[in-house]
A and B are shown apart, each in its own frame.
Chain A
Amino acid sequence: MVNYKHFYSLLFAAAATVSTSCVDDNYELADIDTTVGLNLNELTIPLNVESITLDKLLDIEDDSRIQKQVVNGKEIYAFKENNTFKSDNVKIPVLKVTPQYIAPIENTLDIQIPSSYANEASARSAKPVCVFPVKTDSETSFSESGDADPAIVSIKSLSVEGTASHDYEMHINVGDPKIKRYVSKVYFDNFKLLLPMGMKGKFTLDVNHTEKDVTDKYNPKTGVLDLSKETLGVTDFDMHIYADMDAIDFEDAGSEVTFKNGKFTYSGTVKVLSGEIAIYAEDINTGAGLQDIPKTLSYVCTPKIYGVNVTSFTGEVQYDLDNLKIDPVAINDLPDILSQDGTDIKLANPQVYLSINNPLNSQYGIWAQASLSLKATKNGVEGNGAWSDNINIDGARNVFCLAADTEKAADELLEEYADAEIVKFEGLGDILSGNGVPDKIYVDVLNPRLPVQEVENLALGQNLAPVEGSFMFFAPLALDETSKVIYSETLDGWFDETLEKLEIRKAAVSADITSEVPANITLTIKPINVKGEEISDVECEPVTIAASSEPQPIKISLKGKIRDLDGVIINATLSGNGEAMSPADNITMDNFKVTVSGEYIDEL
């Protein structure tokens, strides 16, 4: 039998002797510190990176004010804001012409008996038995006037609309009872009347309640109504002349019409230039004779003029268009890259497109004129402005492209405005310039007006079609070289259990970049810790990426101890070269490499 007791005793003694004497107290696996440090030594990670277009990089949102626009077949980024505008209706009030009282001409006419009168009864062809010549030296004045709207600068002619049944009338009455007793009829022979000159319209002769158109007897240039050829035998001893005016011709009216300082005056002298009241033998009542005829005859000439409303005029007009306002352009909903403080955007080719309908032009040949002013504001503080003086709106449809650089604008006109007239718009390129992009651009239409110009038959008192149109602020995202877009973005929230254990000593991103983006981009990257503070003592050299078709090596380096990394602040500064940025602008990054040195320390 084996003596196991001895065996195990020996085994134990041997093991104990050998083992205990060799225990190294420096090593205790039960309490081992499992801290592990894994190093990255200038490890370069090469990546094949897809080229990226600006479209993907900017990721413009649908509601952004900057959108893709097609210009000459090329898609570009542009700020585009549309507004419409409409003036109040053009309306020049009716010119109301108010008459003044006209004193009647009253005379006593003396009888003349022709020498050949032989007391014979004769027909009308015979000579009168007596006549009473009208006294032609008697006259009276007429006057009517009205204050015209200031829009009426001068008048050549007026169209009028009467306010009474007639506009002018002259009533000649010789109804002396003494003569009526012996005569049944008298004749108004050889009558020529001096009426107001320049009248145009219808002239009516009313005798014995019978009207006769005698328009052709009136000479507007002289004002003479020649009735001498008329046989005017009247039984009621009255003669009425009526004028129903359509217009007053200022040239014909001569000095009788004045329009000065907005006051219209129509004045002059009216009288009977010639004429006689003739009595023929046949008209002497039975039983009476020449001897019974009174030797004098009462004669009353009563001119009357009534107020008229001028409904249109030919002459010169000048009119201020009212309420021609364009809503401010709100510069909001811009991409983050353009909306930060410090950004100073100077656009290479901003344009303002104005499309204006001027219905007055087609109807009256009227042209309008206005100046346009833009004023940028940011938080209520006025910034830069732009202006364009005296834009002539001389067609029925007027399309303008207002641009700071007219040559450039001509090359880059939007297709739908291909026929636009290019007008210099001073200062437009700097409209967005300043410390930060403005939040509004106020558009002022300055002095919109119909300049002094001749018109024909311009209606008064009517609502004429307004001037209206559309306004579009179109600014291709084309920065000039003095622009400075400052963009800062904080990417954070990275810190986690992994980054807590990572210490980066050096990091670099390098690439050969070919950029079609028409901008010089200067980048700096600063690491931040969990408190959001920049990690101190970390060197970061800025790099510049220029627009270039040739690959340009760039390297962004961070040197210094980076711990508790929570993210980075990317600061980018952009300036342009005048070309518009396009969604298709490509950035190619060849030889893209990330190089890292650092240590990852963790507990296993």
Chain B
Amino acid sequence: MKKTKYILAALMLSATGAYAQYTNSGYFTEGYTYRHQLNPAFGNEKNYISIPAIGNMNMGIVGNMNLQDFIYNIDGKTTTFLHPDVSASEFMGNIEDENELNFDTRIQILSVGFKGFGGYNTIGVSMRGSLYGMMPKALFQFAKEGITNKTYDISDFGLHTNAYAELALGHSRQINDKLRVGANLKFLFGLANIDAEFNKAKLRLGKDHWDATVNAEIQASVKGLEYETETSDFSGKPYVNGMDVDGFGLNGFGMAVDLGAEYKLNDTWRFSAALLDFGFISWSNNMVATTNGDKNVTTDKYKFDFDENADPDFEDQIDNLGDELMSLYELDNEGDKGGRTKMLGATINLGAEYTLPAYDKLTFGLMNTTRFQGENTWTEFRLSANVAPVKFFSAGVNVAAGTYGAAFGWIMSIHPKGFSLFAAMDHTLGKVTKEFIPLTSKGTFNLGVNIPF
């Protein structure tokens, strides 16, 4: 139970952050309290202090696996894609070669912004987490198109989760009339980092023989985590069949910086750039479970005997083959391989903002965001229109296109004196099920209540 509790806690935490840890819709929106998180060169006009825990809640899901691609309406009834009346071609037409899903969250525990030291300063404590999963197309081909004699490569099947607490100290200042720069220095306190991946997973269903190759590894940096093992029916050796966490807590330390700059070309054009989360976390442990290289199973080595008195008989061999196939996924417990240091996924934001000369309350912005995180690297371009007709209200709408497709975003910020409320969606939820489950995998939501002063 202890194990389950901690793992669930880690995953829930993870399921709350990278894509939705920032609200790009607010990049050009005056009055959005947390613009400095998008570019540390941005400073607020007012001081503020966040309402604990609800000052800036980001959560979202982004990917190219949409729920609507997996559920269908057949004769008025909601079905899964595996329903026999759902054609394989229709379903597979919606499936990408690589299918990814990001769950991200960021909860601002506390944030304070204030003017001083010749600029604008911020102090923030937040919890950040992300969960990234990827599934290859072959997996869905296997399930939907029907099993046939071909090679199924499910190597790109993995799960990565990362959770840490962040203490950020920021400062921005005007260098001159045109240039403003800023930086955040972040102290990172690692909670959990798990990388589980099939480096290689191939199932070759040939007509003459079948074979399977698996190369998988789990690296887990979680305090108190131990792998549970049991003895393999096939090899007689212990293999990992679970994990237990005893004494969950801080398990690493790291640092990162955000760097930003904004250049005001003239009264109508501003350009900005920021590098976010450039840093690392040094994890205290690295619990490794691995296949230790490629594991292969080939059916050639099994000979089946129809003689029911044979030893092994036909059914025994089926069981033996099954045991060996199962052993493909049996990972050796390598124990703690020592600490490891992992870079954070860095983000670069580039922005260009145009203020309508005829109505300077209205601006248009073009932003490019690129996140560098290995195979989860993505980019998007976002074009926005932002308006701040009065001092206590600002809003913006935007459209985006990028790695995960097109999106429509919006932001609304009400920030009268003494109160600030904002809500934003970089990826506006499209249709939802009756249970309000988004039918697409693009949905982010940012909400926060702060006290400006």
Binding site for B on A (CB under 8 A): 2-3, 6-7, 10-11, 14, 18-19, 22-50, 52, 56-57, 591, 593, 599, 601, 604
B117 within 8 A of A: no
Determine the distance from Cα of A152 to Cα of B26 in the docked complex, in whole angstroms. 138
Q: Contact mask B50-94 → A, CB, 8 Å, 1/0?
A: 010000000000000000100101100111101110001000000
Do B147 and A39 have beta carbons less than 8 Å apart?
yes
Report B59 CB to chain A, min CB distance, Å: 13
Known: A38-B146, A42-B148. A23 touches B436 (CB 8 A): yes
Do B205 and A34 have beta carbons less than 8 Å apart?
no
Q: Cβ of B309: which chain A residues have Cβ within 8 Å of it?
A: 56
Do A599 and B435 have beta carbons less than 8 Å apart?
no
Max count, chain A CB within 10 A of own CB: residue among B88, B299, B307: B307
Report A170 CB to chain B, min CB distance, Å: 92
- Which of chain A's residues has its CB closest to B430's CB? A22
- Which of chain A's residues has its CB closest to B79's CB? A33
B417 within 8 A of A: no
Do A46 and B208 have beta carbons less than 8 Å apart?
yes
Do A35 and B84 have beta carbons less than 8 Å apart?
yes
Do B436 and A41 have beta carbons less than 8 Å apart?
no
Report B327 CB to chain A, min CB distance, Å: 19
Do B431 and A23 have beta carbons less than 8 Å apart?
yes
B439 within 8 A of A: yes
Determine the distance from Cα of A2 to Cα of B449 in the docked complex, in whole angstroms. 8
- Which of chain B's residues has its CB closest to A55's CB? B307
Chain B residues numbered 4-21 whose CB sits less than 8 Å from any CB in chain A: none
Known: A52-B305, A56-B307, A604-B80. A22 touches B432 (CB 8 A): yes
Do A52 and B306 have beta carbons less than 8 Å apart?
yes
Do A43 and B304 have beta carbons less than 8 Å apart?
no
Known: A27-B68, A43-B148. A49 touches B434 (CB 8 A): no
Determine the distance from Cα of A75 to Cα of B149 in the docked complex, in whole angstroms. 44
Q: Shortest 5 CB-CB distances between A and B: which pairs? A: A39-B146, A37-B84, A41-B146, A24-B431, A56-B307
Q: Cβ of A37: which chain B residues have Cβ within 8 Å of it?
A: 82-84
Name the one of A18, A29, A40 contacting B78, with C-beta atoms under 8 angstroms: A29
Known A32-B78, A50-B310; 7 more pairs at CB < 8 Å:
A22-B430, A33-B74, A33-B80, A36-B83, A43-B147, A46-B208, A50-B304
Spot the interface stretch: B230-238, B367-375, B421-429.
B421-429
- 5 A-B pairs with CB atoms under 8 Å apart are A6-B419, A28-B435, A34-B80, A36-B80, A36-B83
Q: Cβ of A14: which chain B residues have Cβ within 8 Å of it?
A: 412, 423
B406 within 8 A of A: no
Q: Cβ of A28: which chain B residues have Cβ within 8 Å of it?
A: 78, 433-435
Chain B residues numbered 148-162 whose CB sits less than 8 Å from any CB in chain A: 148-149
Do A25 and B434 have beta carbons less than 8 Å apart?
yes
Known: A28-B78, A32-B80. A48 touches B432 (CB 8 A): no
Q: Cβ of B428: which chain A residues have Cβ within 8 Å of it?
A: 18
Report A515 CB to chain B, min CB distance, Å: 14
- Which of chain A's residues has its CB closest to B73's CB? A26
Do B451 and A43 have beta carbons less than 8 Å apart?
no
B391 within 8 A of A: no
Report A260 CB to chain B, min CB distance, Å: 75
B302 within 8 A of A: yes
Do B80 and A3 have beta carbons less than 8 Å apart?
no
Known: A42-B148, A599-B84. A52 touches B51 (CB 8 A): no
Q: Cβ of A41: which chain B residues have Cβ within 8 Å of it?
A: 145-148
Name the one of B209, B303, B423 contacting A49, with C-beta atoms under 8 angstroms: B303
